[in-house]
Chain A
Amino acid sequence: GAVVSQHPSRVICKSGTSVKIECRSLDFQATTMFWYRQFPKKSLMLMATSNEGSKATYEQGVEKDKFLINHASLTLSTLTVTSAHPEDSSFYICSAPQFGLAGGNNEQFFGPGTRLTVL
């Protein structure tokens, strides 16, 4: 199947700094990508839908100024955690849908995730 990569896989930062996480579709183009946050022993929470060429759509309760999303090209979306605090520590996962477009039947391909630890 298609491959989605994330970089970095792990990051440790000090409180107050900003961290950028990249999500790339390696062998296909994705108009839409999704960003999830996974808490320990809990499910994935959709944070936002990243749209190439337009603004991201954020889920209720997710601070758009805190979690900046930029879909710079058809193969790259970035999530920047601004002024990170310890409560932002989590596992962040991105996905891109099959055929690059969000469709109900379409499989989604997930990145391996980024473990963020804020000290």
Chain B
Amino acid sequence: GNSVTQMEGPVTLSEEAFLTINCTYTATGYPSLFWYVQYPGEGLQLLLKATKADDKGSNKGFEATYRKETTSFHLEKGSVQVSDSAVYFCALSANRGSTLGRLYFGRGTQLTVWP
């Protein structure tokens, strides 16, 4: 079946520190992979996505590479800011079958960045 395992939080960093949030998945077929971000009091927003192996998604300084050989999609940012404090969700979407389009989420990682 389809599932996502995400690094447990919370993660606390100082401003300008390097960020990695690990995400691995199991899936039937070849899913699309996503990172969503949820700022306090708001809904989820798409941060980046990758739709096939070796694709790199990037946005706002965040990057993640679709690694089929390790079934991973780790989120990285070279220098975090206080404004990056939020909950980050890794997700996959099946590309075929009856589950087409539904998202499978990891448990979310709370990131807090201190000035």
Which residues of A approach B to under 8 Å, CB–CB? 1, 4, 6, 32, 34, 41-44, 46, 49, 93, 95, 97, 101-108, 110-113
Q: Chain B contact residues (Cβ within 8 angstroms of A): what range?
A: 20 to 34
A48 to chain B, nearest CB (A): 10
Give every chain B residue within 8 A of A111 (Cβ-Cβ).
43
A104 and B46: CB pair below 8 A? no
- B contact set with A: CB distance below 8 Å: 31-32, 34, 36, 42-46, 49, 51, 89, 93-96, 100-103, 105-108, 110
Q: Is the CB of A112 within 8 A of B101?
A: no
Give Cα A32–Cα B95 distance, bound, in whole angstroms. 16
The answer to whether A103 touches B100, judged by C-beta atoms less than 8 angstroms apart, is: yes
Cross-chain contact of A110 among B44, B49, B100 (Cβ < 8 A): B44
